């Protein structure tokens, strides 16, 4: 069932670095992404597939991990993701694609989850350095980076506390806790006419 896949699909930030992800596996994920809906069917997103260890290390150095975990600089070297999918917008095709990027990112992560992998969407990236490193044309703009690998982290969902704080945190022992609002907190029922 889709709900089981969604529950298993978490933002993983620690991976088994020694378990490599093959380029063909990333191609399968992008193949899923290319089949998703696109605004005006413009399909302006391009994908850089990163599996080479040297390239992966360069990408890693230009990411900011887990914004709310202020005292954490990202995964240790043996926990870094072995691969990345970098989303780039071809502005010659369309000027923006935020909604498209969200749709394809979730699709890529659901596909990775189905393949017993996991990932994390990262928007805090040094776009300038990545664009220069991968020698992208001027018309390309990096949107985000998706880390992909085999998770080495336990993630647990919890209910948002009465104070409404949704900030994720790590428990002693390394379990990553992600508070979620209740269904009733999210649904707005129309007021009856009368």
CATH (residue range 2-153)? 3.40.109.10
Query: Would you kindly state where each structural domain of the chain is located, as residue ranges?
Result: 2-153, 154-194
Name the percent of the chain lying above pLDDT 90. 86
Contact 155/113 with Cβ under 8 angstroms?
no
Q: Distance between CA atoms of 70 and 5, rounded to whole angstroms?
A: 30
pLDDT score for 193 = 67
- What mean pLDDT do residues 6-31 have? 97
- What mean pLDDT do residues 132-140 have? 98
> How buried is residue 177: exposed, middle or buried, by Cβ count under 10 Å (0-12/13-18/19+)?
middle
pLDDT in tens, 152-191: 999 999 999 999 999 988 898 889 999 999 999 999 999 8
pTM: 0.94
DSSP letter string over 83-125? Answer: EEEEEEEETTT-S--HHHHHHHHHHHHHHHHHTT-EEEEE--B
pLDDT score for 194 = 58
Residue 126: is its pLDDT beyond 80?
Answer: yes
SS3 129: helix
pLDDT score for 67 = 72
pLDDT in tens, 54-102: 999 999 999 998 777 777 788 889 999 999 999 999 999 999 999 999 9
Q: Which CATH architecture has domain 154-194?
A: Single Sheet (2.20)
Contact 3/110 with Cβ under 8 angstroms?
no
């Amino acid at each position: 069932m889709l709900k089981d896949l969604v529950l298993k699909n978490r933002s993983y930030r620690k991976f088994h670095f020694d378990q490599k992800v093959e380029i063909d596996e990333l191609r399968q994920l992008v193949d899923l992404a290319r089949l998703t809906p696109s605004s005006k069917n413009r399909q302006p997103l391009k994908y850089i597939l990163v599996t080479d260890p040297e390239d992966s290390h360069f990408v890693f150095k230009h990411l900011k991990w887990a914004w709310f975990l202020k005292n954490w600089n990202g995964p240790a070297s043996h926990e870094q993701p072995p691969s990345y999918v970098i989303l780039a917008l071809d502005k010659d095709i369309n000027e923006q694609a935020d909604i498209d990027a969200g749709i394809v990112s979730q699709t890529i992560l659901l596909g990775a989850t189905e393949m017993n992998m996991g990932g994390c969407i990262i928007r805090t990236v040094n776009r300038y350095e990545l664009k220069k490193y991968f020698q992208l044309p001027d018309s390309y703009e990096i949107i985000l980076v998706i880390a992909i690998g085999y998770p080495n982290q336990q993630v647990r969902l919890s209910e948002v506390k009465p104070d409404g704080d949704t900030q994720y945190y790590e428990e002693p022992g390394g379990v990553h806790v992600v508070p979620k609002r209740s269904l009733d907190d999210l649904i707005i029922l129309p007021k009856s006419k009368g």
